[in-house]
């Protein structure tokens, strides 16, 4: 079995589209840590049971800096102390093709190519990624033998390597923070990928509306499966567990069991995002009347959330405080809650005391990109207390949630939850709603549903 196999090496490969962008990100990182060795692992497979594994998703940091998605890989930025410009040499350590002579091709269901499919050879990977590639099985030894240099590793992905390099926890955390901040502003290629993620997500929401009758006859699971089909057809996966929350499940922020009934007359809160093959994700929410028409109370609540979201989105522009959209949306909802008699007092006082939070619950948005809650390790002064810049992409997602057991609100409110979430790109002179392909006002939602279901 060891011999008689053709040479299948691929020739004349072109670098992947993101290769020059990844090179610029590595250069930006290099400038932040002169003279230090930086190690960015992709991560390892996680056992589900025996010889089966959870689907592999490489670390966001590794993908951002290489464009590669392979298991066990790592990026090393090796400092060049003698070089006049300083800087670093980048090397990707990857699993090479599995060898038939040694038998590894057939053995090992986790990594043998008979089981998992062909990998790129190191020479092929060098052409695709545009950086030198070496055998990852030699990495620990090569790092041990390398000239002494202060070293940092991105922790949390490769326990074996962390133990081998024995670095300082606080300094490693600082590396992770800088990498998080490096993703705050997206480059043109990333913005293109985010458009793809959102456009696929729009099609996924459309699929769900078309299949609402089957969901009514089955359960929320049909909605989950319908959206997932679109995600796998057009992208890599869903970017986070889909929230397919019908009826009072909409008052649970991250309802992902998705095993409830879908009843006409109630609302469906669908919060879902397609992750592209490059691993960028959308994060969109629409709240839909399952029968196709809002009741007067559902419409009143929906319209208030819509206006709050509009107030938030209007603030998004370069130079604005990141917090502005949150403040604008929360203030608007405080006014409405007082107007409806659900909270007492001056709306400004209600807002200052955060009394509206009983019904608005979660934050009003977050950065978006390779992670659904992207850039989460960034320092406060650059993120939540920071200033918007062109190229940032964030969600604006206010909501009102009346818990089914909340005795402080009239019974008819209980169990209603509404969230509207869009993905907003900060442009040079304002913003662009990337998810505007889905209807947002109550009238538009109803008309859209009528058009899709024929009801
Ligand atoms: N879409 C889920 C979240 O933003 O938490
Ligand atoms: Mn979100």
- With beta carbons less than 8 A apart as the criterion, state whether 37 and 77 touch: yes
CA of 394 to the centre of ligand 2 (A): 9
In a domain, 8, yes or no: no
Domain annotation covers residue 14: no
Is residue 315 included in any domain, yes or no? yes
Phi then psi for 344, rounded to 5 degrees?
Answer: -110, 150
What ligand has the least distance to the C-alpha of 255? 1
Rounded Cα distance between 286 and 297, Å, is 17
What is the best residue among 204, 224, 240, 282 to mutate for testing ligand 1's pocket, by most ligand atoms within 8 Å of CB?
Answer: 240
Beta strand pairing call for 284-289 and 267-272 = antiparallel
State in Å: Cα 199 to ligand 2 middle. 16
- How confident is residue 109, by pLDDT bands cut at 50, 70 and 90? confident
Q: Is 10 a member of any domain?
A: no
- Is the same domain home to 164 and 224? no
pLDDT for the residue 100: 82
Could you read off the pLDDT of 412-439 as tens digits, one per residue? 999 999 999 999 999 999 999 999 999 9
Do 261 and 383 fall into the same domain?
yes
pLDDT score for 369: 98
431 & 305 share domain: yes
Q: Which of 155, 181, 207 is the last residue of a domain?
A: 181
- Candidate of 284, 309, 397, 424 to mutate for ligand 1, largest count of ligand atoms within 8 Å of Cβ: 397
Q: The domain that contains 136 carries what CATH number?
A: 3.40.350.10
On the CB side of 187, how many CA atoms lie within 13 Å of its CA?
14
Length of the chain: 455
Residue 379: give its domain's CATH number. 3.90.230.10
Domain boundary pick from 128, 160, 181:
181
- Same domain for 136 and 274: no
Give the tens place of pLDDT for each residue, 160-210.
Answer: 999 999 899 999 999 999 999 999 999 999 999 999 999 999 999 999 999
* Domain identity same for 35 and 126: yes
Atom of ligand 1 nearest to the CA of 273: 1
How would residue 111 be classed by pLDDT, with cut points 50, 70 and 90? confident
Ligand 1: centre distance to CA 293 (Å): 26
pLDDT of residue 229 exceeding 80: yes
- Domain final residue, candidates 122, 148, 181: 181
CA of 198 to the centre of ligand 2 (A): 13
Residue 432 tokens read as 């662009």
Domain-located, residue 305: yes
Closest CA to 432 of 316, 276, 272, 280: 316
Q: What is the mean pLDDT of residues 61-74?
A: 98
User: How many domains does one find in the chain?
Assistant: 2
Domain presence at residue 33: yes
CA–CA gap between residue 63 and residue 83 (Å, rounded): 27
Res 28: pLDDT: 97
- Is 32 part of a structural domain of the chain? yes
pLDDT tens-place string over residues 234-279: 999 999 999 999 999 999 999 999 999 999 999 999 999 999 999 9
Q: Which two tokens stand for residue 134?
A: 């070496």
Mean pLDDT, residues 99-122: 86
Q: Is the pLDDT of residue 314 over 90?
A: yes
Q: Are residues 333 and 260 in the same domain?
A: yes
Regarding whether 177 and 215 lie in a shared domain, the answer is no
Closest ligand 1 atom, CA of 395?
4
My answer on whether 123 and 221 are in the same domain is no
Contact assessment for residue 27 and residue 80, using Cβ atoms and an 8 Å cutoff: no
**pLDDT at 266 (0 to 100):** 98
Instruction: Give the atom of ligand 1 at the shortest distance from the alpha carbon of 373.
Output: 4
Same structural domain, 142 and 207? no
Cα(6) to centroid(ligand 1), Å: 49
CB-CB contact of 434 with 195 (8 Å)? yes
Cα 192 to Cα 17, 92, 433, distances in angstroms: 11, 25, 14
- The residue to mutate among 282, 421, 423, 435, having the most atoms of ligand 1 within 8 angstroms of its beta carbon, is 421
Give the least confident one: 96-105, 212-221, 238-247, 283-292: 96-105
Closest-lying ligand 1 atom to the alpha carbon of residue 421: 1
One domain, residues 399 and 431: yes
Pocket test for ligand 1, best of 197, 256, 361, 372 (most atoms within 8 A of CB): 372
Which residues neighbour ligand 2 (ion) by CB within 5 Å? 283, 395
Q: How many beta carbons lie within 10 A of that of residue 196, not counting itself? A: 17
Torsion angle (degrees, nearest 10) of CA 164, 170, 173, 179: -100
Instruction: Quote the pLDDT of residue 84.
Output: 66
Angstrom distances, CA of residue 176 to CA of 33, 60, 322: 12, 11, 21
Residues 110 and 249 both lie in one domain: no
Q: Tell me if 93 sits within 8 A of 77, measured CB to CB.
A: no
164 and 274 share a domain?
Answer: no
Q: State the residue range of the domain holding 75.
A: 19-181
* 3 is a domain residue: no
63 falls in which pLDDT band (50, 70, 90)? very high
Pairing relation of β-strands 37-41 and 74-79?
antiparallel
Specify burial of residue 189 (Cβ count, 10 A radius: 0-12, 13-18, 19+).
middle
Average pLDDT of every residue of the chain: 96
Q: What is the CA(366)–ligand 2 centre distance, in A? A: 7
């Amino acid at each position: 079995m060891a011999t008689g196999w053709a040479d299948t090496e691929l020739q004349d490969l072109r670098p992947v589209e993101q290769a020059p962008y990844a090179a610029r990100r590595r250069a930006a990182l290099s400038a932040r840590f002169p003279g230090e060795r930086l190690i960015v692992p992709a991560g390892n497979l996680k056992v589900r049971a025996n010889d089966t594994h959870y689907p592999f998703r490489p670390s966001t940091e590794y993908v951002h800096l290489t464009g590669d998605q392979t298991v066990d890989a790592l990026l090393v930025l090796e400092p060049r102390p003698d070089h006049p410009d300083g800087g670093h040499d980048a090397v990707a350590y990857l699993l090479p093709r599995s060898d038939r002579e040694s038998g590894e091709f057939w053995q090992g269901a986790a990594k043998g190519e008979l089981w998992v499919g062909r990998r790129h050879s190191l020479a092929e990977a060098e052409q695709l990624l545009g950086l030198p590639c070496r055998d990852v099985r030699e990495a620990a030894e090569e790092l041990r033998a390398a000239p002494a240099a202060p070293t940092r590793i991105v922790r949390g992905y490769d326990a074996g390597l962390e133990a081998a390099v024995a670095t300082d926890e606080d300094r490693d955390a600082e590396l992770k923070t800088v990498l998080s901040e490096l993703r705050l502003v997206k480059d043109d290629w990333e913005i293109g990928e985010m458009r793809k993620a959102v456009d696929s997500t729009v099609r996924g929401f459309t699929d769900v509306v078309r299949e609402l009758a089957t969901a009514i006859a089955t359960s929320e699971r049909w909605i989950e499966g319908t959206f997932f089909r679109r995600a796998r057809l057009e992208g890599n996966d869903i970017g986070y567990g889909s929230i397919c929350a019908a009826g009072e499940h909409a008052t649970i922020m991250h309802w992902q069991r998705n095993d409830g009934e879908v009843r006409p007359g109630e609302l469906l809160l669908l919060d879902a995002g397609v992750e592209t093959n490059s691993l960028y994700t959308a994060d969109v929410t629409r709240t839909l009347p399952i029968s196709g028409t809002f009741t007067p109370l559902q419409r009143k609540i929906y319209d208030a959330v819509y206006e709050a979201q509009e107030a938030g989105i209007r603030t998004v522009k370069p130079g604005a405080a990141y917090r502005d959209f949150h403040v604008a949306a929360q203030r608007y909802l405080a006014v409405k809650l007082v107007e409806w008699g659900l909270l007492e007092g001056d709306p400004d006082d209600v807002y200052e005391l955060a009394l509206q939070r009983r019904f608005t619950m979660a934050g009003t948005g977050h950065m978006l990109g390779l992670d659904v809650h992207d850039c989460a390790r960034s320092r406060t002064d650059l993120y939540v207390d920071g200033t918007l810049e062109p190229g940032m992409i964030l969600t604006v997602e206010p909501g009102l949630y009346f818990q089914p057991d909340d005795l402080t609100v009239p019974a008819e409110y209980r169990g209603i939850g509404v969230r509207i979430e869009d993905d907003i790109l900060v442009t040079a002179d304002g913003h662009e709603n990337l998810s505007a392909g889905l209807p947002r006002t109550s009238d538009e939602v109803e008309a859209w549903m009528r058009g899709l279901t024929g009801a």
